[in-house]
Chain A
Amino acid sequence: MIRKVVILSMLLLILILFMLTIEDININTSARDYLFENGFRETGSNNLVTAIYLDYRLYDSIYEAGILLVTVSGIIFMSKKDDDVL
């Protein structure tokens, strides 16, 4: 019981600090404006999300595909051997 009260008070403190932080939030929009002006001409894609994850940030997509491959091989490894893994 005392543990839940401590955790709740800590989360409440985090929430109050976050509220103070976003009180005067001011988001820089220069990247958005640059993409809106030049994104179609530089990449040839109408969909700007595709333009970002296939051209500007291709590293992200490639390593994400790698993470999926590693996960699949790990799941098959744990599924093949019965009770030997743990």
Chain B
Amino acid sequence: MRIDILLSFIVVLIGIYGLCTSKNIIKSVISLNITDAAIVLLFLSIGSSEGGDPPILNGTISSIVDPIPQALMITAIVIGAAITAMALMLSIKLFHYYGSLNWKDIMEKEG
């Protein structure tokens, strides 16, 4: 049982719980960010190994951690930033149109 994988998966579940139960749009965006960061942690902890050095080859190291999850997570970080910016701009537009940031108020005004 690897305890680091388990802890980062618990943070993923906390983010999903916040996404399911929050009433404010800004809090939903924050929960989305928590889930994103926790998935990055999960992948990095799966790829790590005991006593591994960072994957920068300089001739003296003997074993490295897995560089493939790190290269994939660079993609995930940039896409997370793009999704956050898009969601915040959409919530600004919703606030200008409906005058509220609560999910229930917006659904009632939509009808």
Question: Which residues does A use to contact B, with CB under 8 Å?
Answer: 3-4, 7-8, 11, 14-15, 18-19, 22-23, 25, 27, 29, 31-32, 35-36, 39-40, 46-49, 51-53, 57, 60-61, 64, 67-68, 71, 74-75, 78-79, 82-83, 85-86
Contact = CB atoms under 8 A, between A and B. Distances in A.
For chain B, what secondary structure do more than half of its interface residues adopt (helix, strand, loop), or is it mixed?
helix
Given A31-B66, A79-B89, A86 B6 contact: no
A47 B55 CA distance: 6
B96 A52 contact: no
B66 A4 contact: no
B107 interface: no
B88 to A, nearest CB: 9
A75 to B, nearest CB: 5
